[in-house]
Structure 1
Amino acid sequence: MEFGEKIKELRKNNQLTQEAFALRLGVTRQAVSNWENNRNLPDLEMLILISSMFYISLDELILGGKNRNIMAEKLIKDGSETRRAKFNMITAVIGTFLLFFGFACFFIKASSVEYIDSSGILHENFYLIPIGFLFLFSGVLVLTFSTAKFVRSHFKK
């Protein structure tokens, strides 16, 4: 059974009009009509409210039995898109920080003073150059792979 049919059946079994049902949920009658005709789907908070109103589990409401319906597919798709967006954001932040640390290493190296002490030992923070290059390379690598993955998934649609 499709989600719209399930909502309509639950509403009619409880002798509610679309107007009364919408009033109890705090939405418009048109929203209920769109749900019942599978034009739109309610958000997760509304699903929880509907399931508690009719004393039905979310599984039964969303999945409508053993077969997946449009609502289940939408929730699965939305969940994977959310995970993908979080992954892209996290990798972009990590890549940006790596680039920042790489440039910071070069800035510190350029602004630091090199000197020879009284015993003839050179004091120089030469190690900042390879560390800076490592941070820059890592940042560019992370951002490149993140962008490639985003573009690939975007064009798959």
Structure 2
Amino acid sequence: MIEIGERLRNLRKARSLTTQELAGKVNISQSYISRFENNKAIPDVDMLARILHALDSDLPSFFTSEHNNTPPDLIQLINTVKTLSPEARVKLNEFLNLVIGEDQ
């Protein structure tokens, strides 16, 4: 079972943030972020919600399987795709179908 700290670390890395950058967004010290990520301390619900907000996430999605087993690079890719326009998503889908077709 993945720990809260590991989930936080994976999500932070998927957002390409350092512990210092995340701490700045949440207005707490970098050492607190490090303690949370290393399971030396457990954030209360309000603090966890603040951290997740800074990571463009929320409590429900954090505790669902979406983040449990998904590698950080895949989370980052998904988040990038979410920012694309509908037209760009169509083009990306066409490209992926082309690439997948070549591999089969």
TM-score if structure 2 supplies the norm length?
A: 0.54
Alignment of 1:1-150 (within 5 A): 1-61=2-62, 63=63, 65=65
Equivalent residues of 1:11, 1:21 under 8 A apart: yes
Task: Please say which structure displays the higher CA radius of gyration.
Answer: 1
- Percentage of matched positions with identical amino acids: 29
Count of aligned residue pairs for this structure pair = 65
With a CA cutoff of 8 Å and minimum separation of 6, indicate the structure with the bigger relative contact order.
Answer: 2
Please give the secondary structure, in 1, of the residue aligned with 2:43.
coil
What are the Cα deviations for residues 32-90 of structure 1, in whole angstroms up to 9, with x where unaligned?
110011010112211111222233231332x3539xxxxxxxxxxxxxxxxxxxxxxxx
Structure 1 stretches of 4+ with a deviation exceeding 6 A read none
Equivalent residues of 2:49, 2:59 under 8 A apart: yes
The CA distance in 2 between the partners of 1:55 and 1:29, in whole Å, is: 19
Equivalent residues of 1:2, 1:64 under 8 A apart: no
